[in-house]
Every structure is written in structure tokens, then in C-alpha cells.
Amino acid sequence: MEKLKEMRSSRKSFLLAALGAFAAVFSGGIGRAWGKGHGSEKAGRHKPGSHLWGMVIDLDTCTGCGACVLACSAENNQVLGSPAEAAMNRVIRWLKILPSQEGEYPLVKQRLLPMTCLHCEHPPCTKVCPVNATYRNEEGIVGQVYPRCIGCRYCLNACPYTIKFYNWKEPVWPAGMEGSFNPDVSVRPIGVTEKCLFCHHRLQRAREEAAAQGRPLQAGDYQPACAEVCPAKAITFGDLNDPDSAVSVLARDIRAFHLLEELGTEPKVTYLKERS
Amino acid sequence: MEITRKNFLKLGMFSGFGFALPDWAAKWALKPREDLPPPDWEETVSHTVCGLCPSGCGMRVRKVDGRAVGVAGIAEHPVNRGSLCSKGAAALQELYHPDRVKGPLLRDGARGSGKWKKIAWPEALALLSKKLGRAAPGGGRMPFAALTSARAWDIQGETLRGLAGSLGKDNLFALGFPLSEPPADAYEEMHGLRRLGLDLTRAKLVVSFGFDWLQSAGAPVGAQRTFARLRSAPGRERARLIQVEPRLSATAGKADQWLRVRPGTEGLLALALAGRLIAGGTYDKAFVNSRCRGFEEFKKGLERYSPEEVAEATGAPAKEILKLADLLAAGRPAAAITNRGPLLTQLAVHALNALLGGLSEGGAFSAIADQDGFWAGPSAAAALAARPPGALLVDRVNPLFLSPLEWKGILERTPFIATVSPFLTETAEFSDLVLPCHTPLERGHCSIHVSPDGSAVLNAAVKAVEPFYDTRDPAEIFLLAAGASGRTSVPADLDSFFTGHIARLQAEKLLEEGGKGKSWREINGPAAAGPRFASGSGKFEFQALTALLVRRDAAKRPENGEFPLYVHFYSPLAFSFGEGAHLPYLQSVAGPGMQDAWETWAELHPETAGARGIADGDAVWIASQRGKIKARARLSASAMPAVVSLPVGLGHTAYGRWAARAGSNPLELGSGESRVKIWKS
Amino acid sequence: MTNRPWTFYVQLACLLGFYAFTAAVNLWFPWRAVLLYRLGDAWLPAAALGSILGPVFLLLSYILSQVFFKIAAPRRGGGKAAPPMLMLPEEAVLAAPVLAPPTPRFLAAMAVLGAISLWALFLWCRQLYYGLTVTGLGGSVFWGFYIVNFVFFIGISHAGTLISAILRIVQAEWRRAITRSAEVITVMVLMFGGGSIIVDMGRPDRLLNVFTDGRLQSPLLWDVCSITTYLISSTLYLYLPLIPDIAIIRDRCRDWRKPLYELLSLGWTGSHEEIEVLESCISKMALLVLPVAISVHTVVSYVFSMTIQPMWHSAIFGPYFVVGAIFSGIAALLIAMALLRKGYGLEEYLKPIHFDNLGKLLLVMSCLWFYFTFCEYLTVWYGAVPDEMTVFYAKFSGNYASGFWLMVATCFVFPFCVLVSPLGRTVAGTVMASATVCVGMWLERFLIVAPTLVRPRLPYATGVYIPTVTEIGIFAGSIAAFIMLYALFTRFFPIVSIWEVREGKELAEAQVSARIRTYFPS
């Protein structure tokens, strides 16, 4: 009986202690959140003066020639591809030309839509990453940390645009071809997810160069490889925070639309409809 | 319980510590580390010429410790304005290709057996000049022939011309790619000139007859830029594009209207349109009356090509043909374009230009100054088949792939073949001597590039990177061979030859910029001088076309029970000129409409396929009278019934590991063939 | 503290280890919450998970403390040896598999199962070497067999703990002979469920990133936490009722396993106080394990439903998965029971009434499953959102139609027809129904995972998914290894609880009649 009493009291103190500990943590956290105000997350992201990178692709002038695909592949050391990989649909191309056909002859319409990661403002992929390997950075670019990725492929499944890629096998290059690697971009190992990063390494270089010259980053300092290479100049890239930048102006165009707009992901890659 | 008290205290301490944590520590703990290590390499930039096709785009090569790691267009270059096409963007893959020929090879076994002996350059060059020097005339043979690619003037061509000149006359042939070329045969028949300038941006209406110009144009960058200007250049009306083609190509997909016709019947449609224009009196009467010859006969010859009969032959509804004729009548200035297809199509389409005023002053067509280039003649194969050469020097072209049926016989009858190429192409595989040359990034450039619109650019650049292997500049090979033959006065030393030409062209400044600044110069404006008509009469000739119309009933559709289907060849941009399949990246963009890669796909209408029990993705055999190939069926609801569309460019048997594995070559069906049959394999 | 046997120190170390683990759990979540909060990131998931899991582990360590201090610690070393535990002659059949040497048939079965498992191990090693390129995944299909197996195994795991906990709580006396076999299924199959995730990972070498860089906003982390908790608590839940039986075996075992039993029996003597403490602990565990088990399959479903993919993004998934899990769990339990009954001659203990009762439960779950499936598909069809309809039609009448209708037949039509009549609820009938249910529930998981991925929102990236030998082999190997481990367990511990059945026989009648009396007016 004595023992039983002791047991009861100890149980009570035990539970009380646990409750107290959690109460302490919670009250502290809530207090701080209150002090900082709501939506501190947003406030931290859009500092005045910082950039928000975005892209506009004009489908009226785009001819689907594929130069952007090549420039992107070469710039980012993408896998070479092979018949076997192509048959399994495993060739990684961060930028792809996606074909679709509507209607029947003679009213058939073919669309060739260049598609990269859309760098959503609210990315469904970063939400689900278990290890913080994919994230939205302060300038709106959805990044991917290859050394941290565990290869669970959850983000690939969560992406409604299916525009992230997985390294099914160790990428191989014939001896000597590594010489052509862009030294600014790491080659992805087996088993990790990769995606378009808006040629983030170019941003870093542009920033370094601007800093070396003692000036702020200007429009045009930073262009991803696809925008640079496009013969029809259908791709415009720039700062969406600057209301007067070409990309901002075009993104407000009457022809502008986003892919799967209804999902509320707010992509930062805007398409301009074809004129008729 | 002591444990819990301790727990509680610990918890309190820990959370206190957490709250006191400085920001940097929190960031260090959680922020993804994305920064790159600081670069510890030396970076340089070289300006050069892309050189993968004759367009002459300016290319900026980024080098790290002397190693090329990236290419981009030169922003100010007039040809490409900072852009590149997919081929240019893949330039590094050609440079670093693991299957390049690393030194001269001498055949060691039967022809085409793939057995080679590695030899040194002096030995190779001695052998070459010995064989070339010994090639004697007689026996109905041409002693020596050289085959090169069609292009404007450059220093490599100049040396080849020197070599050929020292060995005889009329022995230098340029090999074109008909799917990409302008209708030069029509130009010749109608203007007496093989070349005309064509500035599409002057047209408000562009009708293309079977020419998928966005993908197949000889100058890919130029085509995309022209398209962009036609569609949305500031301050100009949006041009209308109409595509007459058997297949929903990239151009057809981008066009405002696509008219589906049977392969090879585009010309008939043009004739029907011409008939309507003439009947309606809505043609350019001033031009026809003053500058044309044989119009009345032509008009009479057209009577057989009523829209109804043409509709029957082409498969396009008569209503659509009439509508199109009305559009043409209203939409001046208009340009009708085609590639070097059947002669009737070339002539008929170009006759349309005469009726639409495209050839008069201010029209899309203009004269073009000949830049002393190497232009494809009517047919190199025909000339050489008639008089097989004693020795053949192939300069970076691959005739055995482009028209295997014609060239196989010629090459078999040629006792000595030497091929200059960075790769073991099919032709190189069949040669006696392979002389590996630099890729464009490894050699100097002094070249002139003529755009379709007549503007010309002089490019001059030194090599962008050191050569990887024991290869030579083609110019050096030809100079040394010519020097060794002892029949030429040209200096055998490439450097002095090169500087001599640079000096002649006053291009020293372009070279000196060291690849940093301007490595080009525009050498004359878009309005090139020269006559538009060099025919005997000095007028536009309808004669040849009328003759064709009279000679046979062109509109009659031949029935062929054994080969019931029509075949349509097209050239994807990635494989233009039949090159490109050797670069793996290019395979990814080969079939933009179908997302196919690494194999030859055959586009079929579901009904056509269904009648033969063929499902999407099935392996099929396609046979013509002359050959058969294997392909993968791709069903497309927009395909034309009873037509098989095949991309040209895959199906190499050599040409490096990536090309040799993939697909089959539709040109083995015969490039002039129009009828095939198909069955499930 | 002197004169203690070595087992005491090991037990103490285990207890302290568990305390440490509990402390770590209780500290880790607040710590993450604080860090995330400072980063301006969503700290709420960490705080929420911590506020659930922290108390759970505190409770578990409390129960373990009880067991240690009340059962293991009071024994004084050096005293006279306790009398051996009592075993009635009719109970010999229960202890026989443990005490008797294995039969050749058993060894042969082990050899076959072992060979399949080794083959799967080889395949997995090969996959580790070459990467997931050896699977049939590609295009837009990033998850396949492994994730299906994960969901399936986790579902099966609900057999045990959940059923046995429910039956314990409602004091269903017929449970006594079957709870152990159910709980073992749970613990064993959970390992393979978790293992499937590791097999599916592209970088299993980076598994620890989940703890060092874990992002608690990710449903996968909820899974990790929930499944770990479930594994630990269900192991404990299996272990507690096992203690008296281990003591029985300890006193009869003469071979190398004796030290193991001595360690695990915690010096159990079977005294009244011990039984009182143990029963109180077991009933607490039953209460604790129930919400944990439900949470497990709920968060497994969240992995899918938290995305916005067509036919994954469904609010019904939580309960739908839980129902499916219990459904397949009962089916697996029935199969296991039938095998045990046949193999070890336990007809006296696993009686037709057990199969009949579980068959009724299976029938109820079958109807519930059908109800949920009907709700899910009707809602999708009626709403007719185009993206969802492509997936819907792929299942209903497209590529996956054969699988879909097979699933409906095996999960509902066949089991319902068999189980609805008492004639069907025989041992053979329930086992047949269970076998089809297992197949059908695997198919159901497959049909949730694959069609959505094969037909993504943007139609360009459509893929096909044909599993390879590696995937099928690893699945087969997992099942073989599971059966093997289960069979081995029966050779180490009595698979039917000796003491509980005895207790039921001795006390239950009186207890039940006493209880029944309270139901009615006196």
C-alpha cells in the first residue's frame, strides 16, 4: 500500500514536470511570435531592394528550336543520355520542349512549350522535403542541395509540373569528356534530385563581378544560359521586384499566363500566349 | 522521481539556450550551404566562328586554364546577335568527342572493313600527294575530284580550290543538302543564276511549300531570328505564315495555316494557285509584262491544273486552295518559298513569286553578290557517276550517308579515296586514307558568310583552343598536298598563306583583337549589287516550267499497288545537313513534336497504321523499290493518311559511338523515292 | 547494490538507455522548434510533434520504470532459489515448439525462406551498387513497388497491436490465445515496412540526414517519428505479456538460450504483486498503443494526401488507410493463426470460434473498406475534375482496370460472399478470404501509388511502370524474411500466451459472470 501511494505521487510529479516543460517552451515561442508580428516569414523574404528573379517565355516567337535545351544541358553538365535511358524516360533535361497538339486537321494547333522549373512562389516541392535539401531562397529561386538530398523522391512526386529530375544511376562520361564541364556547376552524384536553378552560379559570378567593380547588380548582369542563347529572343529574364524591368512589364502583358495557375503555386516563369 | 526533475531542469536550460542562440548559429545549423569554393583557375575568353554549319555565327569560348568549358554567341555579332542554335550550343561535345580520329589512318584490309593502320603525318601526306599526282586522265575517268561542302568563301576552301586547280579543271564539287537548300535549279532555269538573295522579312505573307524552314533552313539561327522578326518586330505588321506540307512540322505548327498535301505535290498546289491568280487577274501585271518571257504559254499550260484536279492529286480540299489563292492575292508583298525538291515544285513555286511581285523591286528576292564561294551544282553525283575520278578527296562531307544509293557505286569505282574529317564517317570508313582535321574551335578562321538575305560578314579568328590530337587544319593538308605535287606556286606554309589572305582582306585588326573584341566585319549591305536575271533574254523565263507542264500530265497521280504509301523526308534541326547524330545532347532535341530520340521514328496516321495492325511504338519495316529500313511507329492524329514521315539524320553505321548506335537512315530508301510500303516487324 | 546477478545490470543499462532516449526525444523537438522559429520558418510542426511524442515517451519510460523497479529490482540476490515456474501438463503443447528441437520440415522451410531472403539481399546489394536504375521506375513515376510495400507492410502491422489492444480494452476473453501471434506480426512486419523506405531511398548512406537536417514540416518526418514510436511501443507491448512465459521457459530451458531468458524474464517469480504490476502496465500500454497505431497509418496516408496530386490529395485518406490497415492486418493474422494451428497442433487453443470471431471482424472491415472506396471514387467521379478523371479512368477502365476490378473482387466481393454466412466462416473459409484480402490490399496500395504518377497533371511526362525482377525479388524476399523471422520467434517464445490462457481459464469465468451481473439491475 505504501508503495502504491508512492507510485501515484511519483507519477503525478512526473506528468506535471513534463507538462511544465512543454508549457515553458510553448509560452516562450508564442510570446516571441507575437512580438515579431504575423507573417514574419514573408517579411524576411522580400526585403526592399532585394531581387526576385523571374522569366517570361513568349510562345509567339518561340519556334521550339531547342537551342535553350542544349545551352542548358551544356551549361549545367547534364547527363549525355543514351538509348536505354531515353527508352525509360530517364534522360535529365532541366529544360525541355514539351509538345502538345490540340484539335484535328485542319484546325489542329501544335504547341511547343519550353519548360523549366517554374520557381514557384509557393513551391509544393520544398514543403515536403524531409531534409531541407530543396528550399526557396531569399531571391525566389528554388534551390537544391545535392550533398544533403537523401533521394526519397518525395519532392519529385509533389511537383505538379513533374519538372524535377532524379539521378537513377551514377552519371558517366567517356574519358576526356569531363574536360568540357562547366567548373561553376557541380556534377550530381547518383541518387539525388536535381532541377533548374535559374543558372544560380551565374548570379553568384555576376554578383562577385559587380562587387569587384564596386557597383550594385544591374539588369542584364545575370542571364541564364537559355535566355542568353535563344535565337528568337523569346526568353526574357530579370528582376520581378523592379516594376520597370522588361520581365516585369512582360509578365503583366495581356497574353501572360502561368501553367496550372489554379493550383496557387504562383510560378515565376510566365508564358505569353501565341497571338493569332 | 529524480530523473524527471533532472529532465525538467535540463529542458529549461536547453530551451533557454535555444532562445539565446545567436542568429548566425541558427543559420549555420540549418541554412543550406550552397556557396561555391572560390575559383582558383585562370579564366580567358576567345572569340571564334562556330563553324558547325556555313552560317558563320560568332562564338565566344570560355576557357579555364586553357580548357574550353563553355560557348555562347557573341552579343554584337551581326549573324547571331548573341544567340546560337542547338548545334552551336553543342559545339563542345564535338570538340571533346571521344571517338574523334586521333591521327592519320591508312586502310589495312578490305574497304569498309574498319581495319586501320596508324601512320604519321609525313607518311600520310606523302601518300596523298603520290596518289593525287599519279592520278592520270583517260579511260573516261576524271583524274582527280574533290568534294567539299557548299558554302561561301573561306580559307580552307581556297586551299582546296588551289589543290584541285593544280590537278585539273572542273574537278571541285560542292555537296549540298537538298532539304535545306534554296530551289537553285529553279533559279537557274528561270533567272540563269543559281543563287538569289531572299529577305523574308520584307514579306507580309510567307507561303512555304514543303519547306520546314524553321527546322531545316541552312542557317538555323537566321531562320529563328527571321521568324521572330516576322512575328513581332516592333513597328511592323505581323506577317502571316502559311505552310503547305505533308506533316505538322515545327514550321507548320507555328504557321497561321497549315495545308496538308501529299508529299511531292506541293508544286501542283502552286500551279493551281498560279492559275487562280492569273484567272483572277490579281497577279503582278507590270512585272509579268515587262520582265517575263513565255507567260502566255505558261498560262495555257496551266489550264490542266484546275483547283479540283489539283485537290484530287494533292489531297488538299479545293475550297482551301481557293481560299489560299484569295489570301495570296490580298496579302502582298508575299513570298513563296521551297527547298530543292522535285524540279516541278521548285519551278512552280518560284513562278508564283513572279506572279506575286516578289521578284520586282522591293520584293523579298534580290540579286546576291557572289562571294566566290563553293556552291552546289546541279548534281555532283551525276557528274562523277558519268566520269568516276581516279582519286577522290573528300573534305568534311559524308556523301555515303546523304545519298547512299548514288554514292556507293561512285566510291566503289574510285581507286583511291582520301577523306578529311574529324570523325570516321561512313565515307571515311570507306576511304583508303583518313586525314583527321581540327574541329572548328581548334583552327583559325578566315571566312566569308553570306546570309540568305544577301548580307555578308567576314570572320577572322585564330584558334580558340590548342588541338587535342594529332590533327591538322584542312587548309594545311591541302596546301601541303598541293606543294608536294609541285604543280603550284602557292606557299605550302599555312601561316603565311593565312596572313596573306588576312592582309588581302585587310582583316589584321580583326585578328589582333585577340578574340576579345570584334572578330568580324560586315562586307556589304543587304542590297547586293548584280543582275537579277542572267538568262539569255535578261528576263524571267517561264519556259522550263511550261515545258514540264506540257511534257507530261504532272497532275496525274500514279497508282502503285505494291507501294501504296507516300514517304516524306524531313530534316530536324539537330541533324541538319545529315550531321549532328554524333552528339548525344543533340539527340535530346531531335524530335521536338514527338519527344523521340535515339531512334528513327515514323509518323503515321492512326488509320493508316491501324489498317496494318500497327500500334504506337511498334517497330516497323518501311520499304521502297530500292531499299528498306526499320523504324518505330509514332501515331499522330494530325499526320496525313497514307503518308509515312521520316526524319533524316539518324541511322549512321559509323560516325562515333552515339551516332552508330541509333536509328536507321531513311535515305537508304532512295532520296527521290516517293512510294513505300510499311509492315509491322 | 552488491550480489546482484549480471542480468540486473544489463536491465538497468537498458532502462537508463531508454531514459536517455526519452530525454533526447523530449529535447530534440523543442530544440528544432526553437531553431526553426529563429529562422523564421514554420516551427509549429516541431512543437506539435514534440508535444505529442514527448509525453508518449515519458509515459513509456514511466511504464518501464514500473516494470524495472517493481519486478526486476526487488529481487534480492544471494537468497534461496525460487521454485521453478508452474507449467500444467496440457500446456506442454504450447512450450513444445520452444523446447523441442526443430523438425526437419521446419528446417527445410527455413532453408527455402532463407534462400529467397538471401537472393533479395543480393538484389538489394546490387541495387545499392548500381542505384535505382535497376528498378522499373522512370519518367514521371518516381515511386513504385518499394513505397507500395512500405504502405502494405505498415498496414499489415496493424494486425497485432491494434487488434490485441482493442480486444484487451473491451475485455474480450477469446483474445487470450491470439494476441501474442498478432503482436509479433506487428513488430516483425514494421521492420520490413521501415526497411522498404530505406530500400527505396536513393541515398541510404545519408539516412542520418533525416535526424541532423530533419525538416518537421515534411510528412515523411511525421512518418519517421510515428513509425519509430510505434515500433518501440509495440515491441514493449509485445514484451510485457511475454515476461511470465519467458520465466516458464527459463526454468525449463537447458541450452545456450538460458541466459537470454534469464535476462528477459526480469527474475519473474509469478508473485501476486508482480502480476498486479504487470497487468496494470499492460492495460496502460494497450491504451497508449491504440492512438499511436492509428496515427501511424494516418501519417502514412498523409505522405500522399498532403501533396496536391490528383487522387492523392484527399481528406478521406487518413481513415481510409487506417481501415485498410486493420483490414489487411486481420487477414494476415488469420493466415498466421491457421499456419500455427496446423504446424504446431494448436487446435485446442486456436479454435474455430476464434476464426469465426475474427472472420466477423474481417467482414465488418471489408464493408467499411468498400464504403470508403465507394466514397472516394464517387466523389472524384461526380466532381469530375479533369486531372483527377484521367487517373480515375486509368483505374476504372484504362491500363489499371484489371488491377482495379481484381482489387474490388478480392477486397470486397469474395470476402463478403464467404464471410457473410456462418458456413463460410470456417477455418478454411476465413483463411481463403484473408488470402484474397492480402492480395487485394496490396493491389489497393499499388493502385493508389502508380496511376497518379503515371498520369501527372501535365500530360507530357506520362510514363509507364513495369516493375523489374529486382523490385519483385526484394518484395518476395521481404515476405520470406518476415515469415522466417516469425517462425524463428515461435521457436524462441511461446506463440500462444501460456499464462494468459491459464489465467483466463482460472479467473475469467468468475470475472465475467461478476461483470455480467453488473450490467443488469440487481
Task: Give the model confidence (pLDDT) of B297-341 as tens digits.
Answer: 999 888 888 888 889 889 999 999 999 999 998 888 899 999 999
pLDDT at B36 over 70: no
CB contact under 8 A, B31 and C23: no
Determine the average pLDDT of the residues in B259-266. 92
- Interface probe, candidates A157, A170, A265, A269, chain C, greatest C C-beta count within 10 A: A157
- Which residue in C131, C456, C460 is closest to A100 by CB distance? C460
CB contact under 8 A, C201 and A150: yes
Determine the average pLDDT of the residues in B555-579. 84
- CA–CA distance, B232 with B254 (Å, rounded to integer): 13
- Which residue in A25, A133, A231 is closest to B85 by CB distance? A231
CB contact under 8 A, A65 and B220: yes
- Which residue in A60, A98, A184 is closest to B231 by CB distance? A60
- Which residue in C197, C202, C458 is closest to A191 by CB distance? C202
- Which residue in B231, B248, B637 is closest to A61 by CB distance? B231
Cell of B242: 502559311
Residues of chain C whose pLDDT is less than 50?
none
Mean pLDDT for chain A?
Answer: 84
B225 touches chain A (CB under 8 A): yes
Q: Which residue of C has its CA nearest to B5?
A: C23
C130 touches chain A (CB under 8 A): yes
CB contact under 8 A, A149 and C203: yes
Q: How far A117 CA lies from chain C's nearest CA (Å)?
A: 13
Q: How far B35 CA lies from chain A's nearest CA (Å)?
A: 9
Interface of A with C in 141-180 (CB under 8 A): 148-154, 156-158, 160-162, 166-170
CB contact under 8 A, B598 and A182: no
- Quick one: C485 exposed, middle or buried, by C-beta within 10 A (0-12, 13-18, 19+)? middle
CB contact under 8 A, A190 and C137: no
B565-680 has which fold?
A: Barwin-like endoglucanases (2.40.40)
- Could you tell me which residues come within 8 angstroms of residue C417 by beta carbon, excluding any fewer than 6 positions away? C424
CB contact under 8 A, C303 and A167: no
CA C187 to each of CA A69, C161, C182, C228: distance values in angstroms, whole numbers, following the listed order: 50, 9, 9, 11
> How many other CB atoms are found less than 10 A from the CB of residue B462?
17
**Neighbors of chain B with 3 or more C-beta pairs under 8 Å:** A, C
Q: What is the pLDDT of residues A235-267, one digit of tens each?
A: 999 999 999 999 999 999 999 999 999 999 999
Q: Which residue of C has its CA nearest to A262?
A: C308
Q: How far C31 CA lies from chain B's nearest CA (Å)?
A: 7
Q: Break chain C down into helix, strand, coil percent, rounded to 5.
A: 75, 0, 25
Those residues of chain C whose CB sits closer than 8 Å to some CB in chain B are 19, 22-23, 26-27, 30-31, 34-36, 38-39, 41, 58, 61, 65, 213, 460
Q: Which of A195-209, B63-77, B207-221, C502-516 shows the lowest mean pLDDT across its residues?
A: C502-516
Angle formed by the axes of helices C317-344 and C179-200, nearest 10°: 120
Question: What confidence score (pLDDT) does residue C43 get?
Answer: 83
CB contact under 8 A, A229 and B83: yes
- CA–CA distance, B295 with C111 (Å, rounded to integer): 94
Determine the average pLDDT of the residues in B43-59. 91
Question: What confidence score (pLDDT) does residue B14 get?
Answer: 56
Interface of B with A in 307-326 (CB under 8 A): 320
| Predicted confidence band of residue A46 (pLDDT cuts 50, 70, 90) | very low
Kindly list the residues from chain C whose CB atom is less than 8 angstroms away from the CB atom of residue A131.
206, 209-210, 213-215
Half-sphere exposure of C272 (CA within 13 A, CB side): 0
Provide CATH code, domain B197-366. Answer: 3.40.228.10
pLDDT at A39 over 90: no
Q: Is A170 left (phi over 0), alpha (psi -120 to 50) or beta?
A: beta
Determine the average pLDDT of the residues in B491-505. 85
- CA–CA distance, C68 with C15 (Å, rounded to integer): 8
Q: Which residue, among B172, B136, B106, has the nearest Cα to B373 in the 3D structure?
A: B172
Q: Which residue of A has its CA nearest to C224?
A: A130
B240 touches chain A (CB under 8 A): no
Question: What confidence score (pLDDT) does residue B107 get?
Answer: 94
Between B and C, how many CB-CB pairs are < 8 A? 41
Hey, is B654 helix, strand or coil?
coil
- CA–CA distance, A163 with A125 (Å, rounded to integer): 10
- Interface probe, candidates B76, B86, B634, chain A, greatest A C-beta count within 10 A: B86
Kindly list the residues from chain C whose CB atom is less than 8 angstroms away from the CB atom of residue B7.
22-23, 26
pLDDT at A21 over 90: no
- Which residue in C19, C39, C61 is closest to B30 by CB distance? C39
B243 touches chain A (CB under 8 A): no
CB contact under 8 A, A112 and B320: no
CB contact under 8 A, A149 and C221: no
Q: How far B599 CA lies from chain C's nearest CA (Å)?
A: 18
pLDDT at B258 over 50: yes
Kindly list the residues from chain C whose CB atom is less than 8 angstroms away from the CB atom of residue A157.
142-143, 307, 309, 453
CB contact under 8 A, B8 and A97: no
The full DSSP string for A66-109 is: -HHHHHHHHHTT-----HHHHHTT----SSEEEEEEES-TTS-E
Kindly list the residues from chain A whose CB atom is less than 8 angstroms away from the CB atom of residue C37.
29, 32-33
Determine the average pLDDT of the residues in B398-420. 92
Kindly list the residues from chain A whose CB atom is less than 8 angstroms away from the CB atom of residue C70.
3
> For residues B143 and B137, is the Cβ–Cβ distance under 8 A?
yes
Top CATH class of B105-134+146-177+373-437+445-518 equals: alpha beta
Question: What confidence score (pLDDT) does residue B490 get?
Answer: 64
H helices, E strands: number in chain C: 21, 0
Q: What is the pLDDT of residues A142-189, one digit of tens each?
A: 999 999 999 999 999 999 999 999 999 999 999 989 889 999 999 999
Determine the average pLDDT of the residues in B361-382. 83
CB contact under 8 A, B30 and C36: yes
| Predicted confidence band of residue B375 (pLDDT cuts 50, 70, 90) | confident
Question: What confidence score (pLDDT) does residue A41 get?
Answer: 39
Kindly list the residues from chain B whose CB atom is less than 8 angstroms away from the CB atom of residue A135.
32
| Cell 550594385 -> residue | A216
- CA–CA distance, C395 with C414 (Å, rounded to integer): 20
| Domain B43-95 belongs in CATH node 2.40.50.140 | no
Buried b (16+ CB within 10 A) or exposed e, B196-233: bbbbbbbbbbbbbbbbbbbbbbbbbbbbbbbbbbbbbe
pLDDT at A203 over 80: yes
Question: What confidence score (pLDDT) does residue C513 get?
Answer: 84
- Interface probe, candidates A15, A97, A110, chain B, greatest B C-beta count within 10 A: A110
Half-sphere exposure of C186 (CA within 13 A, CB side): 36
Determine the average pLDDT of the residues in B95-121. 93
Sequence ranges of the domains in chain B = 43-95, 105-134+146-177+373-437+445-518, 197-366, 565-680
For the entire predicted model, the pTM comes to: 0.89
Interface of B with A in 9-38 (CB under 8 A): 11-12, 15, 19, 30, 32-36
Kindly list the residues from chain A whose CB atom is less than 8 angstroms away from the CB atom of residue C131.
167-170, 190-191
Question: What confidence score (pLDDT) does residue B12 get?
Answer: 60
- Most distant CA atoms of chain C, gap in Å: 79
CB contact under 8 A, B30 and C460: no
pLDDT at A6 over 90: no
| Predicted confidence band of residue A22 (pLDDT cuts 50, 70, 90) | low
> For residues A210 and A217, is the Cβ–Cβ distance under 8 A?
yes
pLDDT at A70 over 90: yes
CB contact under 8 A, B224 and A67: yes
> For residues B428 and B654, is the Cβ–Cβ distance under 8 A?
yes
CB contact under 8 A, B29 and C35: yes
C398 touches chain A (CB under 8 A): no
